[in-house]
Structure 1
Amino acid sequence: MVLFSNKNKIQKKQATGKDSSSIPISPSLDNNIRIVKQLLNESDDLKEQDIQLPSKQAKLLYIETITDTSVIQEQILSPIQHHSDHASVDIFPSREMNKRTDLHEVASDLLHGRTALILENERFIYTFDTKSQYLRSIEEPNNEKVIRGAHYGFIENVNVNINLIRSRIANKNLVIKNFMIGDEVKTKVSIVFMKNIVNPKLVSEVETRLQSIHMDIVTSPGYIEEFIEDSPFSPFPQMLTTQRPDRVAYNLMEGRVAILSEGSPNALILPITFFGFFQSPDDYNSRWYVGSFYRLLRFISFVMAITLPAIYISIVAFHFEVLPTKMLKPIKESIELIPYPPLIEATIMELTIELIREAGVRLPSSIGPVIGIVGGLVIGQAAVEAHLVSNIMVIIVAITAIASFVVPSNEMVTTLRLLRFPLMIVAASFGFLGIILGLTVMLMHMCTLQSFGTPYLAPISVGRWTDFKDTWIRVPIWKMNRRPKDPQPQQLDRESDSRRWKKE
């Protein structure tokens, strides 16, 4: 009767996808094995192995496709063989051994690569961490390369990623909190913060939003970002994505929170402002005036990447008078044979660039650069000779594409690629007035955005001029002796007078 009752519970759990109630351990070894197999739907890679003990019978249960048999031999079988006369729990190495009293927990452990030691006439089952690890080497992220600085990045294992962070911040106040998110498939998600610096309300808000996520499986931080960001319909990213441990460490020391997910090399940093997407580790590894120059260059490139095609359309369609007299004739000769208006011409070229860019990402690395050469030279030159686009338009699109690559954040690059098209439409409709209206609406929208309570355009929108030391430009590091107020840290003072030796 117990078996049938447990079987009904198993069927109810499989129908609802959730554990309706616990299934206690039975004294019968075979009964426990049978129930666990039913919980795992009699999967063929679920293996059992007999173990002969002096006083009782025992079995090992594991899923061979996700466990390391050498670890099973070393951590479980070898101690039993060497202590066969007095086998007990004390003979096993302390390798995350758990004592379970519920068969649902045993099944869950098996799905996470653990091995179960089931003993006859016992009301508990031991599980050991024997998960097989297939890790790629720690390398520098391809999309966040730096000239001066650390050349290593996160991988797809969250424990390794936390290890990289702890190696940068060896401090007792660095806190890690783990969550299991997902209704059908549990995914390990970790939040990282400095307890003595971060605002406790921020940590509490992050925990609340993470615990409110209910979906079958969470495969990447991109899923988490959509669930917990303040304005999911905004084109602007409200969390910074990075694969660099040094960038995460720097933001943690400013009072921000990082979110790591198992199976992804990306970390989410929050809260973040618009200016945070233009900061690069190289800004702080170079002299302050060099870092300031390149940061200003990134802001200029952002404006160029959004507005340059729209400005071209406005000039050609409405405002020829702004051009110098000597430029009127060559531009007129370039566009007079084009059979359609500037908006269509610019749209064709921009879509072509997007196709080339997307093809370069999807194709193998050995072929990707060839696509760029073919698209940039052959197709562009052929389109000009066929009078499908003007040579001025090819130059504009090329400069726009180059300017978009200067922005260090891939999320912000995607945003400016999308915002380019609405500005082109309003420029074709109203000229310079349309561009001004479009930028005004964009700025108003950015003023309404928040990232976990932090204004998106801070410190400009809140008038905190003391935080301007690390926005448009960066002042010398010894001048940035106070943390920015954006994440509302507990401690504002970052350093004392580090150049006191100069005064003395």
Structure 2
Amino acid sequence: MSFFKNRNRSDVIFPSIDENVHYFNDALHNTDDLKTRTIHFNGIPGVIIYLETMVNSEELQRSILIPLTQANIGQKIDDIVTSAQFAKSSNMNIAVTALLKGNSILFLENGTEIYILNTLQSHSRSPEEPENEKVVRGSHEGFVGHLNINLNLVRMRIQNRHLKIEYFELGWETNTRVAIVYMEEIANPTLVDELKKRINSISSDMIFSPGYIEEFIEDRPISPFQQILYTERPDRVEAHLMEGRVAIFSEGTSDVSIMPVSFFAFFQSPDDFNIRFYAGSMFRLLRFFSFWGAITLPSIYIAIISFHFELIPNDVITVVKSSIENIPFPPFIEALIMAVTIELIREAGIRLPSPIGQTIGIVGGLIIGESVVNAGLVSNVMVIVIALTAIMSFTIPSYEMSNTARLLSLPIMIAAATLGFVGIIFCLMIIIIHLCKLESLGTPYLAPFAPLKVPNLKDSIVRFPIWMLNKRPKNIKPQKLVKQRRSREWDKNEK
């Protein structure tokens, strides 16, 4: 087993079982998925210790527990255990590393050796990535609906003794298992304690989805802006944990909640870090622009047609005038009709089976759109504007933030139909003021812009090269701010 090599630390096994168990608990920061099983072998008490999120319980039972209980007096453990990979060590530090790799540890009272047995969990699951978080490059794994498998996927990526898991049971009747996961030496203890306090305060007879937990623990549940980031990707959870955030897992769902987050986290995608930073920055800017475009584009069109017709260039004014002159409705009603139609088509496409959903999209996009224009109910320019708005909303990586964009566009359209550009500016001012006041788990939602943290701008609306991202975000106050020293030391031209 290769992980035994190059280990120089001399953490010698203790003679007492209790001291050994205490050592493992301290080394793994009393994580809740660390389990112990007391046994007796040849009249000598012993303990099997393992991480339940990493081991295969059936393999543990078959290759270790049953052979030990059926062993005859005088037999040796080496001749009894049927584990495919079997090793011994007297170094406790090696044992902790083996534990993190999915092995089970067996030791006896007054023993001088630790038995390391391979019981790594191998679960059969589809490697398909989440439908709503697809990437071009990188990992294509996604979480499933089983809590232990999801935690296993995270532990396989972060094989670190400081990764801590704490379990909760929520719901009087459902008794739903919930786990929070964080890095003990990176995450801010104040934030972790605050999150645990909010989770423990949940008083409900049923918790069956992350949406239930979200509305109990978020800072401003009435705000239209999402304050918790959802993801189904293990690599994304890994990245946020290593920055000092906390992940919330729930039994029966593949969605993982991440707190605290900023407004800009909803426009980031794993693809940003899998491609060249020039392209990653350009696509991130495009998503950010699309968000504000989805909110304001219909309103700008309404304001121009209703109040500021003089802003249309002379070469275009004839086209626009001929498009709207026979329309019986004002621009706001046109936009409202088309926005509702788009939402109906979108909702129908989601609820119906995939083949039928695609048909609905074709029918809605081509037949209904063309028929509405030919009937003279909506201008063709308005169809273009609403279609472009819908495309912009679909480019936002976060489904929740995409919903927010569509939701906010309606009051801004009303303001534009009432006051023109003045109404649009007034609404945008209210939104920005609200964003400045909003918090996620007590941390600024608009960081690193409000309050301004210049070093953190390297990974906000643009992405700097990875070797320049030396520090974690300051707004969540991690215990370890520096995450990498100067990289590319080999390149003398950069010195």
TM-score range, shorter chain: 0.7 to 0.9
Match among 185, 204, 214 for residue 203 of structure 2: 214
| Unaligned ranges ≥5, structure 2 | 1-57, 73-79, 83-122
Cross-structure match for 2:391: 402
Cross-structure match for 2:184: 195
- Distance apart, 1:76 and its partner CA: 11
Gap change, CA 1:77 and 1:282, over 3 Å in 2: closer
Q: So what's the TM-score if we normalise by structure 2?
A: 0.75
**Secondary structure of 1:366 counterpart:** helix
Look up the equivalent residue of 2:311 and give its one-letter code: V
Q: Is this contact kept in 2: 1:138–1:154, CA < 8 A?
A: no
Match among 306, 309, 312 for residue 301 of structure 2: 312
Cα distance in 2 for partners of 1:462, 1:446 equals 12
Cross-structure match for 1:86: none
Asked if residue 147 in structure 1 is aligned to residue 136 in structure 2, the reply is yes
Match among 488, 491, 495 for residue 499 of structure 1: 488
Note the alpha carbon deviations across 1:79-135, whole angstroms, 9 max, x for none.
99999xxxxxxx9x9xxxxxxxxxxxxxxxxxxxxxxxxxxxxxxxxxxxxxxxx98
Match among 351, 354, 358 for residue 340 of structure 2: 351
Cα distance in 1 for partners of 2:438, 2:124 equals 39
**Secondary structure of 1:210 counterpart:** helix
Asked if residue 256 in structure 1 is aligned to residue 256 in structure 2, the reply is no
- Distance apart, 1:276 and its partner CA: 0.5
Cross-structure match for 2:174: 185
Match among 154, 161, 166 for residue 172 of structure 1: 161
Cross-structure match for 2:403: 414
**Secondary structure of 1:230 counterpart:** coil
Asked if residue 460 in structure 1 is aligned to residue 449 in structure 2, the reply is yes
Gap change, CA 1:75 and 1:481, over 3 Å in 2: closer
Note the alpha carbon deviations across 1:250-278, whole angstroms, 9 max, x for none.
00000000000000000000000000000
Match among 361, 368, 383 for residue 379 of structure 1: 368
**Secondary structure of 2:355 counterpart:** coil
Cα distance in 2 for partners of 1:195, 1:382 equals 60
Look up the equivalent residue of 1:309 and give its one-letter code: P
**Secondary structure of 1:223 counterpart:** helix
Match among 437, 462, 471 for residue 482 of structure 1: 471
Q: Is this contact kept in 1: 2:171–2:207, CA < 8 A?
A: yes
Cross-structure match for 1:330: 319
**Secondary structure of 2:204 counterpart:** coil
**Secondary structure of 1:184 counterpart:** coil
| Unaligned ranges ≥5, structure 1 | 1-68, 84-90, 94-133
| Bigger Rg, structure 1 or 2 | 1
Gap change, CA 1:138 and 1:209, over 3 Å in 2: farther
- Distance apart, 1:137 and its partner CA: 3.0
Cα distance in 1 for partners of 2:62, 2:165 equals 32
Cross-structure match for 2:356: 367
Give me the identity figure in percent: 55
Cross-structure match for 2:272: 283
Asked if residue 245 in structure 1 is aligned to residue 228 in structure 2, the reply is no
Number of matched residues?
Answer: 390
Match among 285, 288, 302 for residue 291 of structure 2: 302
Cα distance in 2 for partners of 1:72, 1:188 equals 24
- Distance apart, 1:474 and its partner CA: 0.6
Match among 454, 458, 468 for residue 469 of structure 1: 458
- Distance apart, 1:328 and its partner CA: 1.0
Cα distance in 1 for partners of 2:143, 2:379 equals 45
- Distance apart, 1:329 and its partner CA: 1.1
Cα distance in 2 for partners of 1:205, 1:186 equals 22
Cα distance in 1 for partners of 2:369, 2:290 equals 22
Cα distance in 2 for partners of 1:278, 1:502 equals 32
Q: So what's the TM-score if we normalise by structure 1?
A: 0.74
Cα distance in 2 for partners of 1:228, 1:169 equals 26
Q: Is this contact kept in 1: 2:228–2:440, CA < 8 A?
A: yes
Q: Is this contact kept in 2: 1:135–1:157, CA < 8 A?
A: no
Look up the equivalent residue of 1:303 and give its one-letter code: W
- Distance apart, 1:139 and its partner CA: 2.2
Asked if residue 437 in structure 1 is aligned to residue 426 in structure 2, the reply is yes
**Secondary structure of 2:326 counterpart:** coil
After superposition, residues 26-45 of structure 1 pair within 5 angstroms as none
Match among 387, 390, 397 for residue 379 of structure 2: 390
**Secondary structure of 1:188 counterpart:** strand
Cα distance in 2 for partners of 1:317, 1:218 equals 48
Look up the equivalent residue of 1:402 and give its one-letter code: I
Cα distance in 2 for partners of 1:75, 1:418 equals 57
Cross-structure match for 2:261: 272
Cross-structure match for 2:120: none
**Secondary structure of 2:475 counterpart:** coil
Cα distance in 2 for partners of 1:82, 1:498 equals 55
**Secondary structure of 1:193 counterpart:** strand
Q: Is this contact kept in 1: 2:127–2:140, CA < 8 A?
A: no
Cα distance in 2 for partners of 1:324, 1:388 equals 25
Q: Is this contact kept in 1: 2:164–2:184, CA < 8 A?
A: yes
Gap change, CA 1:81 and 1:473, over 3 Å in 2: closer
Cα distance in 2 for partners of 1:185, 1:138 equals 30
Cross-structure match for 1:32: none
Look up the equivalent residue of 2:357 and give its one-letter code: G
Cα distance in 2 for partners of 1:402, 1:248 equals 27
Cα distance in 2 for partners of 1:496, 1:489 equals 17
